[in-house]
């Protein structure tokens, strides 16, 4: 007697990554939000640099051009959080998560694939945003005779760091989305964590408050994006980034643990 055995579906990471990329790229809002990231980030960097270039060149301002060459990326963070949240929550909203888990039952593989696709995409978009802002803003600085070279200390690191920071921000938002399974809630929590909570903790008195402020994701992560030294007010670039990655890893592990227990 012959026995019919259904061919198992492939659950390899490579195939799952390909599937996640197709889903991400096929959503129109992904590209509009990515475009907003570039326009907002590069646009505001250029505008702000144009406004301050004259004062810096004339000596009216004690600032340096490096303090402004990635300034517009503050606004790009919003788009990174939105894209990261939508990668997860949109599947719950449409019910597509059931098909995803039917095709790839190993949930850690699904989460790893989402993280790889999301971080890779946002790294590239963040890199494009940072370099576009650099060239746009530096045009004003060069016109005033105070241009910045890519070979200057910390400039190239900050531009590449912008891509790394945006990649991490997307994964952070995706982990939050997996925990709350609501687009509005995930975006709200992500933005609050980056823009609000990181500032509110400054009200905690003493050395403890100073360290809590430095260790918040929205304060530790951007250290790699800033090409100038802010002294004791910020962690060092790579130290801050290491703390940022560790925080994302912890949140992602918590999200994975809950993802494994919950029904789709």
For the stretch 84-142, pLDDT in tens is 999 999 988 888 888 888 888 889 999 999 999 999 999 999 999 999 999 999 999 99
- Residue 63: which pLDDT band, with cuts at 50, 70 and 90? confident
Q: Would 3 be classed as within a structural domain?
A: no
Write out the residue range of the structural domain in which residue 234 sits.
13-261
Please state, in angstroms and rounded to a whole number, the distance separating the CA atoms of residues 67 and 213. Answer: 20
Q: Would 110 be classed as within a structural domain?
A: yes
User: Which pLDDT score, from 0 to 100, does residue 48 have?
Assistant: 95
Q: What dihedral do alpha carbons 117, 189, 89, 36 form, nearest 10°?
A: -60
What are the two backbone dihedrals, phi and then psi, of residue 60, each rounded to the nearest 5 degrees? -65, -30
Residue 188: pLDDT above 50? yes
Q: What is the mean pLDDT of the chain?
A: 90
Please state, in angstroms and rounded to a whole number, the distance separating the CA atoms of residues 45 and 132. Answer: 9
User: Which pLDDT score, from 0 to 100, does residue 6 have?
Assistant: 35
Number of domains the chain is built from: 1
Residue 49: pLDDT above 70? yes
Average pLDDT over residues 221-245: 87
- CB proximity list for 3: less than 8 A, separation 6 or greater: none
Please state, in angstroms and rounded to a whole number, the distance separating the CA atoms of residues 116 and 112. Answer: 6
Q: Would 251 be classed as within a structural domain?
A: yes
Q: Would 5 be classed as within a structural domain?
A: no
Q: Would 6 be classed as within a structural domain?
A: no
- Residue 74: which pLDDT band, with cuts at 50, 70 and 90? very high
User: Which pLDDT score, from 0 to 100, does residue 156 have?
Assistant: 95
Average pLDDT over residues 171-177: 96
Q: Would 128 be classed as within a structural domain?
A: yes
Q: What dihedral do alpha carbons 157, 163, 168, 174 form, nearest 10°?
A: 170
Average pLDDT over residues 52-74: 89
User: Which pLDDT score, from 0 to 100, does residue 7 have?
Assistant: 38
Q: Would 2 be classed as within a structural domain?
A: no
Q: Would 8 be classed as within a structural domain?
A: no
């Amino acid at each position: 007697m012959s026995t019919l055995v259904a061919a198992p579906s492939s659950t390899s990471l490579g195939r799952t990554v390909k599937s996640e990329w197709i889903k991400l790229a096929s959503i129109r809002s992904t590209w509009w939000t990515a475009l907003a990231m570039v326009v907002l980030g590069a646009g505001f960097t250029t505008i702000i640099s144009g406004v301050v270039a004259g004062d810096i060149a004339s000596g009216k301002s004690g600032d340096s051009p490096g303090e402004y060459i990635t300034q517009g990326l503050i606004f790009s963070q919003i788009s990174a959080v939105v894209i990261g949240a939508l990668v997860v929550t949109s599947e719950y909203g449409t019910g597509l998560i059931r098909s995803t888990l039917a095709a790839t039952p190993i949930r850690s593989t699904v989460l790893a694939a989402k993280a790889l696709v999301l971080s890779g995409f946002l790294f590239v978009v963040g890199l494009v945003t940072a370099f576009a802002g650099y060239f746009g803003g530096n045009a004003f600085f060069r016109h005033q005779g105070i241009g910045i070279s890519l070979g200057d200390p910390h400039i190239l690191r900050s531009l590449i760091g912008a891509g790394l920071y945006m990649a991490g921000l997307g994964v952070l938002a995706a982990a939050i989305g997996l925990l709350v399974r609501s687009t509005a809630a995930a975006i709200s929590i992500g933005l609050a964590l980056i823009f609000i909570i990181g500032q509110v903790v400054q009200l905690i008195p003493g050395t403890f408050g100073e360290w809590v402020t430095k260790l918040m994701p929205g304060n530790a992560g951007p250290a790699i994006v800033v090409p100038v030294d802010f002294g004791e007010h910020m962690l060092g670039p790579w130290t801050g980034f290491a703390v940022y990655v560790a925080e994302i890893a912890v949140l992602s592990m918590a999200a994975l643990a809950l993802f494994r227990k919950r029904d789709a």
